[in-house]
Amino acid sequence: MGEILLHQAYPGLFTPVETGIFFARQLPPLRFGARQRVVRANEQVSQAVYLTDGYVGRYRTDQLGRRQFLALQIPGDFIDLPSYTLGHLDHDIDSFSTVTVRPLPHAAIRQLQENHPEYGNKLWRITLIDAAVQRYWVFRIGRLMGRARLANLFAEILVRHFARGLSGVDGCPLPINQTDLAEACGITPVHANRMMGELRAEGICDFAHGQLRVRHFERLVQVGQFEWDYLYLPPETDRALAALAGTAGSPPITHARHETGQL
Amino acid sequence: MGEILLHQAYPGLFTPVETGIFFARQLPPLRFGARQRVVRANEQVSQAVYLTDGYVGRYRTDQLGRRQFLALQIPGDFIDLPSYTLGHLDHDIDSFSTVTVRPLPHAAIRQLQENHPEYGNKLWRITLIDAAVQRYWVFRIGRLMGRARLANLFAEILVRHFARGLSGVDGCPLPINQTDLAEACGITPVHANRMMGELRAEGICDFAHGQLRVRHFERLVQVGQFEWDYLYLPPETDRALAALAGTAGSPPITHARHETGQL
DNA sequence: CGCGGAGTTGAACGCATTCAAGTCTTGTGG
DNA sequence: CCACAAGACTTGAATGCGTTCAACTCCGCG
């Protein structure tokens, strides 16, 4: 229930001072109950909301009204920054838990951009990482089988909490139910249930009462084939995770030797 | 083989004059053969490349080396704009066909941003639409079954060509093979083959020799449950598509009546 | 106490995968 | 010109992962 600050959510990107600058422009917080529409698709909005507390999910529905979650957002996510540039979203965002958001008027963003040209790029960066996360969801759902999909998603949620200092690697809050989880993984609730049973039986993790408890982070990462390079975490965080996962961590960034390929 | 220009690729966003401004900063074009690495993962780059001709695909591989395509890029896509802000990509980009790219040095982008503050937001917008496309891929792969997935992807590729004036709705180039297609849809090549056989038998579309031919756009859209709102196309294009698809088109953009929801 | 939502389990079905074989095309070299 | 190899596409058959339908338990709450 504590309000996560901008520099905590995006370490290395924003300083405490900048958090203050942004904070000063924010409108009073808005609170939503669980299972409410937080941002409506196709609705022109004039402010971007920052999720300071609680959990929300983006989704689209098919012709039969069945949901597919496109992303899960955790405290500290700037959830509808795209609306600043695009004006509206193409999908809905609903709350899972009670949430608190702080709206930042588009006009304020524009002003901040003018006074501090680098802020535009910082916000841009946030949306680029979101896009990278989106891409990884395609990989997860497209290539992994049921159990691995779940493990992989759990690992993502956990690591994203960890990177913000919101948890260790032994578990984190995830106030959603099994059906939501299934809709995030592109499987049925029944199957999600069975696969989670396996993960639990194998002593890897268990998920109940809105809490994810990870018994064996290393194996969670293995079973889920999880890599976190796509999260573009600060080097310290990456190293810490590598140590905890018993892996090499994200691959090193090399330098192009010359203009590549050619025919 | 003609080089698509910036204002043609992003109608409504860039003017011909701006195309010239960007063009003047671009480095000489680079050409790649088919099946080459165009952008390498985890490699620091100092320029963003604009795909003027040819087709490339983003992908990640699982532990067994099996690919999952994350996105397919067509002529006119600014393919590694994320590298400007992030410095490197977390995934590889390979060419399908022979391609031509025009590199724009990061330093040039920075200069352009300084001289024309709105350019930063325009490039940002491009990446936000890319992100929306990514999200839609999650929906496609997560919620649709084999045949619908293919139809939906075909519809996307077709509409993206159409929106740039690169084709009608009766077909477009797509110089990839069935295996690539399967890897983009998260199904096996064998299954992709069978489902495409069905689409062909139903007189909806057929895909061969690197060409997608759409016999019945309206039914393609229906079978694929395709909506194109996530592409954020100009209103004229949206209306034209709606007429051709025999549907209502993208939902109208409404205005928030007041600060939503609350508890 | 009874209701409803969430979680769990069983069994039948079916979409998709896997393995395998065969066709067709294209390009290469004898 | 033909033989052959390689790759892409096609098809059949067996297997299996995941869905669907259904029933039942558990728990919180009115």
**Per the structure block, which two tokens stand in for B240?**
């034209």
Q: How far apart are CA B6 and CA B22, in angstroms?
A: 8
Provide, rounded to the nearest whole percent, the portion of chain B with pLDDT above 90.
92
Q: Tell the residue number behind the tokens 């304020």, with chain if given.
A: A108
Q: How far apart are CA A71 and CA B30, in angstroms?
A: 36
Q: Looking at the complex, does the CB of residue B129 fall below 8 Å from at least one CB of chain A?
A: yes
Tell me how far apart the 2 most distant CA atoms of chain A are, in Å: 57
Q: How far apart are CA A43 and CA B61, in angstroms?
A: 37
From residue A165, alpha-carbon distances to A16, A78, A169, A201, B119 in Å are 15, 17, 10, 29, 35
Rounded to the nearest 10 degrees, the angle between the axes of helix B117-143 and helix A117-143 is 20
> Across the interface, do B138 and A143 touch by the CB < 8 Å criterion?
no
**In chain A, where does DSSP find H-type helix?**
6-9, 16-25, 82-86, 106-115, 117-143, 146-163, 178-185, 189-201, 217-223, 235-245
Return positions of chain D under 7 A from a protein CB: 7-13, 17-22
Average pLDDT for residues B104-122, to the nearest whole number? 94
**Per the structure block, which two tokens stand in for B3?**
């080089």
CB A23 within 8 A of CB A37: no
Closest nucleotide to the alpha carbon of B209, via C1': D8
Q: Looking at the complex, does the CB of residue A232 fall below 8 Å from at least one CB of chain B?
A: yes
Q: How far apart are CA B78 and CA B93, in angstroms?
A: 13
Burial of A235 (0-12, 13-18, 19+ CB in 10 A): exposed
pLDDT at A160 over 80: yes
**In A144-210, where does DSSP find H-type helix?**
146-163, 178-185, 189-201
Give exposure, B39-70, as e/b (b: 16+ Cβ within 10 Å). Answer: bbbebebebbbbbbbbbbbbbbeeeeeebbbb
* Residue A260 pLDDT: 52
Rounded to a whole number, what is the distance in Å from the CA of A212 to chain B's nearest CA? 23
Average pLDDT, chain A: 94
Average pLDDT for residues B53-61, to the nearest whole number? 97
- Measured in angstroms, what separates residue A190's CA from nucleotide C12's C1'? 15
Among residues A159, A125, A150, which one has the least CA distance to residue A227?
A: A159
pLDDT at B3 over 70: yes
Long-range CB pairs of B232-235 (<8 Å, 24+ gap) are: B232/A86, B232/A90, B232/B129, B232/B132, B233/B159, B233/B163, B234/B11, B234/B12, B234/B163
| Total Cβ atoms within 10 A of residue B147 | 21
CA of residue B206 relative to chain centroid, distance: 20
* Residue A181 pLDDT: 97
From residue A7, alpha-carbon distances to A116, A120, A162, A163 in Å are 17, 16, 14, 12
Q: How far apart are CA A222 and CA A244, in angstroms?
A: 12
**pTM beyond cutoff 0.75:** yes
* Residue B1 pLDDT: 55
pLDDT at A208 over 60: yes
Nearest to B42 among A30, A41, A252 (CB): A252
pLDDT at B260 over 60: no
Per-residue pLDDT tens for B222-236?
999 999 999 999 999
Among A137-146, A193-202, A243-252, B197-206, name the one with the lowest average pLDDT.
Answer: A243-252
* Residue A252 pLDDT: 80
Which residues partner with B49 through β-bridges? Answer: B103
Per-residue pLDDT tens for B29-45?
999 999 999 999 999 99
Among residues A166, A168, A181, which one has the least CA distance to residue A215?
A: A168
* Residue A148 pLDDT: 97
Torsion (CA) B200, B242, B186, A144 in degrees, nearest 10: -150
**In B88-229, where does DSSP find H-type helix?**
106-115, 117-143, 146-163, 178-185, 189-201, 217-223
pLDDT at A257 over 80: no
Q: Which pLDDT band, with edges at 50, 70 and 90, does A255 fall under?
A: confident
Nearest CA in chain B to A60: B139
* Residue A40 pLDDT: 95
Nearest CA in chain B to A71: B135
Rounded to a whole number, what is the distance in Å from the CA of A166 to chain B's nearest CA? 24
Per-residue pLDDT tens for A18-39?
999 999 999 999 999 999 999 9
pLDDT at A166 over 80: yes
Is A70 strand, coil or helix?
A: strand
Average pLDDT for residues B43-61, to the nearest whole number? 96
Q: How far apart are CA A193 and CA A176, in angstroms?
A: 13
Q: DSSP readout, B109-136? A: HHHHHHH-HHHHHHHHHHHHHHHHHHHH
Average pLDDT for residues A190-201, to the nearest whole number? 97
Q: Looking at the complex, does the CB of residue B110 fall below 8 Å from at least one CB of chain A?
A: no
Per-residue pLDDT tens for B134-179?
999 999 999 999 999 999 999 999 999 999 999 999 999 999 999 9
* Residue B223 pLDDT: 97
Q: Which pLDDT band, with edges at 50, 70 and 90, does A1 fall under?
A: low
Q: Looking at the complex, does the CB of residue A64 fall below 8 Å from at least one CB of chain B?
A: no
